[in-house]
Chains A and B, each alone.
Chain A
């Protein structure tokens, strides 16, 4: 019996015809077997290729850097994977929403993004019954300047029995808008997939186009991209540490990290003219040929800002009142993180080392990468500490790669995209693994474009972290994950 899988790698394109099309039963079995072997579900989506709708699954074999693909033709329903493969939970809800295919037996089938749904569209919010149980609804309009999302708590006194997160308020139809591309607009859309992860998502998009056009950016462009990506990671992690401190009322770190985040964003501004790095990347390389002197100056500024950050952040670890608020709060253990398919710093804080820079490297990361950071415990403290260690490692990494330097043209022209091809592009953004999965039609235009923000994997982790926690600890748990709403809602 032939294998149901096609093996590919991050940054490789495969012809659509090569992707196996197996029966739905074999598709299910292949996915469950892969999960048993420890392979990780990257994507599960409807795939509207010629000949009818198929289900397309991509799994990552992190140890061998492989990505495996399989597909199965599907009609209007199939037997859901979620009861046996929890990581498919959100994906199957999305398939039902986007393609009208019913995953029969799904335990909680309701739209992922559609917030106003008619009768019969699925169950409403989960409720716990009982005289002493009360329900607290938060959002979608919040008191702070944050994105909209609805959180429904089932509580017994101060204890949270269950948290249900309802998102979709930021749904803009970006995936739809990307179809038929690439056009000059496509790059701008990629930059706004999730504003605070602009460079992560745009790198993933550029990689898609370059792979399908068989173009390789120069070593120089890869260096500048890595500098941008790591600066984005540092700025966001610093901001998160400040926000975590703010949520527990710890003023000094909150105030200084809030300002220092600006310092790091301003370094991105200096390189690209934009604080979140818009306009830096384009398929084929980078838009600005930033010279060595400039890069060295930025890296030196990064190092001195790190010293200031160190003073602010180390107050967190040395204050007993802070430790008491972070330790053993909002725990997601390693087994749960693995079951849910969590990625990024949240997974690494739970002891699950998942990092696309190591497991599926592209660009500069093929040769150089920051030292690994892994924590145990999976509580708010571990997630905060993971961020801090990643900041230190990223600054050291920048020092090293910029001093080594790289040669080449900043930008190389990109030809037309290969027709009828598929590519998976993985980039380790600051929240975790960003996955773009693109398919072209006979004219080399995007026939299907799936964006999977790391938040898509991790939102359920937040809900699980709140089980049996005090409701007053929700804000700090939420901040310790700091997931993207618009990256999820697309």
Chain B
């Protein structure tokens, strides 16, 4: 039973992650008064891209080709470690939150290096922005996860999230609330959503993440888009697993609650994107640092309950 549910944690992400993208787009479309694309559109896009050949600029090297592969591989690896709320992930060990943060960092590093490899000023600009904001968002993610571990006194993400139940929320609501706020900021930043980045814009000069992958095509682009969907799912699990404290000892029920929560999170993101403008680029650090400070406070409180 435990083995099956452990396998179902990454499997559900593999299958359902693109659906989150579809839900966000559908919510945005509805609020804008449009019908919106069908929910299977991201899957169709992936299928279409996988059937296409890729074009490589002669100025690029193997680094450019390694970028999409590594960023997808790191997301797949992280999927084995991050629990679905109370349902443990197949792989868990003490300090695995460092491994998750490290995998995100590695994926980002290769994406940035691949962008710089093109020699395009746009991609260089995007890489510079991505790294600047990453330097701020990584500590915030670290502090948030460390606060959960500190509060629950558990070593691994799976055991820590398993311990986040209604009782813990009533005992440590301020700490967990602050961590949830930080994780929401991290979620928006890491996934290049409004108010930090605009995933739908066509304006290269305003892009952060999108501009780094402008030169990728075909299968590589499919890898990037699928990897991005997985990241949306992974970070969503970290946030929703915390704020949906359904721990019934029935993995099916617990897992279903988190998956429903993820759909809700996608709707919240759609609502945020529909109701506010992007921040000015130079105000983004204030948002991220603000989020990080919340986690820092939570961490201190979590160490001294």
Whole-angstrom distance between the Cβ of A128 and the nearest chain B Cβ: 14
User: Is there an interface contact between B205 and A471, defined as CB atoms closer than 8 Å?
Assistant: yes
Known: A251-B32, A475-B205. A470 touches B278 (CB 8 A): no
User: Is there an interface contact between B281 and A249, defined as CB atoms closer than 8 Å?
Assistant: no
* B205 touches which of A136, A254, A259, A321 (Cβ 8 Å): A136
Say what secondary structure dominates the interface of chain B. Answer: helix
Known: A136-B125, A324-B279, A472-B281. A247 touches B274 (CB 8 A): no
A442 within 8 A of B: no
* B32 touches which of A135, A248, A255 (Cβ 8 Å): A255
Known: A249-B201, A321-B276. A470 touches B32 (CB 8 A): no
Closest to B200 in A: A249
A134 within 8 A of B: yes
User: Is there an interface contact between B28 and A251, defined as CB atoms closer than 8 Å?
Assistant: yes
Q: Which residues of A contact B276 (CB under 8 A)?
A: 250, 319, 321
Whole-angstrom distance between the Cβ of B272 and the nearest chain A Cβ: 10
A456 within 8 A of B: no
Q: Which residues of A contact B278 (CB under 8 A)?
A: 248-250, 321, 325
CA distance A329 to B206 in the complex (A): 15
* B277 touches which of A134, A249, A259 (Cβ 8 Å): A249
Whole-angstrom distance between the Cβ of A314 and the nearest chain B Cβ: 14
* A136 touches which of B121, B129, B202, B206 (Cβ 8 Å): B121
Q: For residues 184 through 213 of chain B, which have their beta carbon under 8 Å from a beta carbon of chain A?
A: 194-195, 198, 201-206
CA distance A383 to B194 in the complex (A): 24
**Count of chain A to chain B residue pairs whose CB atoms are closer than 8 Å in the complex:** 85
User: Is there an interface contact between A321 and B125, defined as CB atoms closer than 8 Å?
Assistant: no
* A143 touches which of B28, B129, B204, B281 (Cβ 8 Å): B204
Q: Which residues of A contact B275 (CB under 8 A)?
A: 251-252, 319
CA distance A265 to B137 in the complex (A): 46
User: Is there an interface contact between B204 and A138, defined as CB atoms closer than 8 Å?
Assistant: yes
Q: Which residues of A contact B165 (CB under 8 A)?
A: none
Known: A143-B202, A251-B274, A475-B206. A470 touches B280 (CB 8 A): yes
User: Is there an interface contact between A255 and B34, defined as CB atoms closer than 8 Å?
Assistant: yes
CA distance A330 to B137 in the complex (A): 29
Give the size range of A's interface with the partner: 20 to 34
* A135 touches which of B34, B121, B273, B280 (Cβ 8 Å): B121
Whole-angstrom distance between the Cβ of B136 and the nearest chain A Cβ: 15
B304 within 8 A of A: no
Whole-angstrom distance between the Cβ of A486 and the nearest chain B Cβ: 21
What mask results when residues 28 to 51 of chain B are scored 1 for a CB within 8 Å of chain A, else 0? 100111100000000000000000
What mask results when residues 95 to 120 of chain B are scored 1 for a CB within 8 Å of chain A, else 0? 00000000000000000000000000
CA distance A136 to B207 in the complex (A): 14
Q: Which residues of A contact B205 (CB under 8 A)?
A: 136, 138, 471-472, 474-475
Q: Which residues of B contact A169 (CB under 8 A)?
A: none
Known: A136-B122, A252-B275, A471-B205. A259 touches B281 (CB 8 A): no
Known: A137-B121, A255-B32, A255-B34. A321 touches B277 (CB 8 A): yes
Q: Which residues of A contact B277 (CB under 8 A)?
A: 245, 248-250, 319, 321-322, 324-325
Whole-angstrom distance between the Cβ of B205 and the nearest chain A Cβ: 5
What mask results when residues 250 to 287 of chain A are scored 1 for a CB within 8 Å of chain B, else 0? 11101110010000000000000000000000000000
B282 within 8 A of A: yes
Shortest 6 CB-CB distances between A and B: which pairs?
Answer: A255-B32, A249-B278, A143-B202, A250-B277, A249-B198, A321-B277
Known: A143-B202, A247-B206. 18 other contacts (CB 8 A): A135-B121, A136-B122, A136-B205, A137-B121, A143-B204, A144-B202, A249-B273, A249-B277, A251-B31, A255-B32, A255-B34, A319-B277, A321-B279, A322-B277, A324-B279, A324-B280, A470-B281, A471-B205
